[in-house]
Amino acid sequence: MSGFCNAHTHAAMSLFRGIADDMPLDEWLNDRIFPLEEHLTPEDMYWGAMLQIAEYVRGGITCFADMYFYIDSVCEAAKNANLCVALCGGSMSDSEGDVLRFIEECYSKYNTMSDRIRYFPGLHAEYTCAESLIAKVADFAAESGAKTYIHLSETLKEVGECTVRHGGLTPPQYLHKLGFFDNGGFAAHCVYCDKDDIALLKQSGVTPVINGASNLKLASGIAPVYSMLSQGLMPALGTDGTASNNAASMFREMYLFSCLQKEALKDAAAVSAEQALAAATEHGYAALGFPGGALREGYFADMALLDLSAPNMRPLSDIRKSLVYSADTSDVLMTVAGGKIVYDRGNFYIGETLDKIYAECEARRDRLISAL
């Protein structure tokens, strides 16, 4: 089958896996994650990304959109494994001028580097960015024709506080007012988007990226995927970072993409396995501008080989439905990225050994925790 596209993630957050669990989002973010991030180095980012990439290829992921810091390090890790990567990160500086210069430089640099690398101007969220910065990034996107990337309407608190700050405008309405999505873009989460927000996202050419497992673990809610599909949107799927998931399994995300809607609507026919499979493959590739997501002439040779003889896959009644409702990362035998075998039956060909990756990440995890 096609390799998966993980359309929203923070790869190097693998370093934080298991050290900020069982906490609500605002506490998780402000009391644990933000303080840890202050101590990250480019080398931390590289090794954290390598650990996550090992997990990606073990589970058939061949393309990912990464929103984080020190994107040179993430790009280097992705190139080692020949994965497609869309870099959506920003500068760690608090200066708007520095952020704008960083985005301009990255847009020019990474969009001319390789046909397997993209860069999109990205900001964390409405609630962490000044209006002047959002407007300036919107201006850059208008001038360059770039799509933009942001976290959007992830929690009810975020939406409520946005309406208070901005005269009743929800996050999609506020960003629309500033022109942030004038060239389309990507909105991660979209848990609390009503029908008017969804219509606005459709009108603006925005791809919602759904992160079911992370939203469940942080008790953020369930995105209205059925309504998005009904209004003609084509959501993509992401795992989010493994500090909030804590796995990077597109199989689990596909299952939740479909089954959460069935429960929310009390309708077992809502959101089919085929729709979930498309969200995990072709919709992500297409939105990010990569020729992939299907086994087709002219597309990247990004593929996963699955073991259909595994007990959980038999009998073979309907392979597509089995991929969504039965399969797991353990069923992946081989992953091919851009025609290169990067994983084959327990062996990894990603530029670094697992022993080296594990040792580096555990040492760096210990240093980060000690800095708190």
Number of other residues whose CB lies within 10 A of the CB of residue 39:
14
In single-letter form, the type of residue at position 318 comes to D
User: Who contacts 289 (Cβ-Cβ below 8 Å, separation ≥6)?
Assistant: 86, 118
| Predicted structure pTM score | 0.97
Provide the token pair at 56.
């990606």
Mean pLDDT, to the nearest integer, of 10-30?
93
How far does Cα 360 stand from its chain's mean position? 24
Model confidence band, residue 372 (pLDDT cutoffs 50, 70, 90) = confident
Q: What CATH number does residue 303 fall under?
A: 3.20.20.140
CA distance 65 to 50: 15
Model confidence band, residue 295 (pLDDT cutoffs 50, 70, 90) = very high
Statement: residue 163 has pLDDT above 80: yes
Burial tier of 354 (Cβ tally within 10 Å: 0-12, 13-18, 19+)? middle
Note down the domain range covering 223.
4-370
Number of other residues whose CB lies within 10 A of the CB of residue 347:
10
Q: How many domains does the chain have?
A: 1
pLDDT of res. 80: 97
Long-range contact pairs involving 33-36 (C-beta distance under 8 Å, separation at least 24):
33/243, 35/372, 36/368, 36/369, 36/371, 36/372
pLDDT tens across 57-97, in order? 999 999 999 999 999 999 999 999 999 999 997 777 778 99
**Coil/strand/helix, residue 306:** strand
pLDDT tens across 320-347, in order? 999 999 999 999 999 999 999 999 999 9
Provide the token pair at 190.
């979209």
Q: Are 85 and 61 in contact (CB under 8 A)?
A: no
202-234 burial, b for 16+ CB within 10 Å, e for fewer? eebebbbbbbbbbbebbebbbbbbbbbbeeebb
**Coil/strand/helix, residue 64:** strand
